Amino acid sequence: MILHTEYQERREQLMAKIGSGTAIFKSAPVAVMHNDVEYAFRQDSDFFYLTGFNEPEAVAVLAPHHEEHRFILFVQPKEREKEVWTGYRTGVEAAKEKFGADEAYPIAELDEKLPQYLEKADRIYYHLGRDRKFNDTILDHWQRLMRTYSKRGTGPFAIESTNPILHAMRQVKSAAELEMMRKAVAISVEAHNHARDFAQPGRYEYEVQAEIEHIFRLRGALGPAYPSIVASGANSCVLHYIENDRQMQDNDLLLIDAGCAYGYYNADITRTFPVGNKFTPEQKILYELVLRAQQDAIAQIQPGNPYNQFHDTAVRVLVEGLMDLGLLAGDIEEIIKEEKYKPFYMHRTGHWLGLDVHDAGAYKHGENWQILQPGHVVTVEPGLYIGMDTEPVEGQPAIDECWRGIGIRIEDDVLVTAEGHEVMTEAVPKSVEDMER
Ligand code: GLY
Ligand code: MN
Ligand code: MN
């Protein structure tokens, strides 16, 4: 569980960085599924990270230089007639008591109350890349303050994104965050291990999906962290296959990419295994290659290593293997540099993981890759995909039919530690012996 004191510490840490600026964060909107039916509300991750407040139509303001109020919340007021329809609201009073705001107002008063927190700020910290309509609100305030600048002699002369500061914070997970992630991982591990026992020829992909998502909810997860991919046979070559409606056959591989969200923290796991008892010889050869690429890539997850190193390692292992199999030919350095392997491996080997599945945080600073440090969590997920219609790049060998229809990905969630790394998801087996039965 993440305590209120931790949210407060995060706000303090951010405020120390913005000095005499004012930072503004908007909650997520209510999203419509169709007509007037709404999706389950999902809070904006930046907003949640700083407030723990889980309602729409809210704005958080951090004004470290303000004399009285450093943390201000604008929220939906308590309104019984509305709450009867759309659920409980915290309301203005409790926003102060429960969420530690120095001051709180009804959201309808935003235009009236916001200027007092901007007038003395030297800049506005606000991310313009998310909500066009709210951008207009902020830009209107800014223009007005600029027009009246000479009267006061103070006011924000620039708008800057909060992302570099905030996302660098989000990138390093606290002990409490890791506890949430471990919970998401434990539930997802259980679901994967059950799915492997449950899958068999004759069953449909959606039956496996149902078993997985049943466990997610049964164990208290919010649900899937992303649409579950349950892809058998040649469907495994479609990276984001989510129809999940095919009947599985003997000799198919089944690729399952599924993870749950627990209290907004996500797990992201992929395993690929035979639906029947054994790999075919070609499936086994490619599986062992992807597994080797993944294990060698995981070995590169060490504090001090640049972020790209594990991807580069995976690519090299895969390319060497594909050359040995006659699926790629020529000079290895040229194949890698010119990305001639891309018909078989078209995505990167991982991403940051946390409050978002593809989590916040820079991968590069200018020309330099981010250096891994303790508290970072990444996925390591190499794959090979040889679809029925995959074409080699010009000048590369024709693809023998025996390889077609095979898609394999193996994905683990890996924490960078002071000593090296910890594979958080290692309780889902992945050796050839464990995948066969
Ligand atoms: N399941 C989404 C991903 O692996 O990035
Ligand atoms: Mn995944
Ligand atoms: Mn992933």
C-beta separation of 282 from 326 below 8 A: no
C-beta separation of 328 from 341 below 8 A: yes
User: Kind of pairing, strands 260-262 and 32-34?
Assistant: unpaired
Entry pTM = 0.97
Mutate to test the pocket of ligand 1, among 236, 257, 345, 425 (most ligand atoms within 8 A of CB): 257
Residue from 46, 252, 411, 413 carrying the catalytic annotation: 411
Question: Is there a catalytic annotation at residue 307?
Answer: no
| Per-position b or e across 328-349, b if 16+ CB within 10 A of its CB | beeeeeebbeeebbebbbeeeb
Residue with tokens 């077609």: 404
d(CA 140, CA 111): 10
C-beta separation of 268 from 285 below 8 A: no
Angle between helices 163-171 and 4-18 (to 10 degrees): 140
Supply the pLDDT for residue 170. 98
Q: Whose CA is nearest to atom 3 of ligand 1?
A: 268
How far does residue 213's CA lie from ligand 2's centre (Å)? 15
Q: Ligand 1 atom closest to Cα of 409?
A: 4
How far does residue 428's CA lie from ligand 3's centre (Å)? 15
Mutate to test the pocket of ligand 1, among 271, 348, 357, 412 (most ligand atoms within 8 A of CB): 357
For residue 280, give both structure tokens: 């075919």
Residue from 36, 81, 112, 334 carrying the catalytic annotation: 36
Q: Whose CA is nearest to atom 5 of ligand 1?
A: 358
* Backbone torsions φ then ψ of 425, nearest 5 degrees: -100, 25
Q: Ligand 1 atom closest to Cα of 258?
A: 1
CA-wise closest residue to 265 among 52, 411, 417, 55: 52
Q: What is the CATH superfamily name and number for domain 172-435?
A: Creatinase/methionine aminopeptidase superfamily (3.90.230.10)
Sheet with 377-380, side-by-side order of all strands: 377-380, 412-416, 421-423
How far does residue 242's CA lie from ligand 3's centre (Å)? 15
CA-wise closest residue to 259 among 320, 215, 313: 215
User: Kind of pairing, strands 159-160 and 253-258?
Assistant: unpaired
Eight-state DSSP code of residue 204:
B
Q: Ligand 1 atom closest to Cα of 225?
A: 1
Q: Where in the chain is the domain with CATH 3.90.230.10?
A: 172-435
d(CA 376, CA 50): 19
Q: Ligand 1 atom closest to Cα of 358?
A: 5
Q: Where in the chain is the domain with CATH 3.40.350.10?
A: 4-169
Query: For domain 4-169, which architecture applies?
Result: 3-Layer(aba) Sandwich (3.40)
Question: Is there a catalytic annotation at residue 80?
Answer: no
| Per-position b or e across 94-121, b if 16+ CB within 10 A of its CB | ebbeebbbebbbbbeebeeebeebbbbb
Residue from 46, 103, 268, 412 carrying the catalytic annotation: 268
Q: Please, is 379 exposed, middle or buried when counting C-beta atoms within 10 Å of its C-beta (0-12, 13-18, 19+)?
A: buried
Supply the pLDDT for residue 420. 98
Residue from 80, 240, 389, 433 carrying the catalytic annotation: 240
Mutate to test the pocket of ligand 1, among 212, 238, 379 (most ligand atoms within 8 A of CB): 379
d(CA 35, CA 45): 26
How far does residue 268's CA lie from ligand 1's centre (Å)? 6
The H or E element containing residue 103 is strand 103-106
How far does residue 83's CA lie from ligand 3's centre (Å)? 37
C-beta separation of 73 from 102 below 8 A: no
Q: What is the mean pLDDT of each run of 10 residues along the chain (437 residues)?
A: 96 97 97 91 98 97 97 96 92 96 98 97 96 97 94 94 97 98 99 98 98 98 98 97 97 98 98 98 98 99 98 99 98 98 98 98 97 98 98 98 98 99 98 96
How far does residue 77's CA lie from ligand 2's centre (Å)? 39
C-beta separation of 399 from 375 below 8 A: no
C-beta separation of 282 from 406 below 8 A: yes
Which residues approach ligand 1 with their CB closer than 6 A?
A: 226, 257, 268, 351, 357, 381, 411
Q: Whose CA is nearest to atom 4 of ligand 1?
A: 268
d(CA 225, CA 235): 21
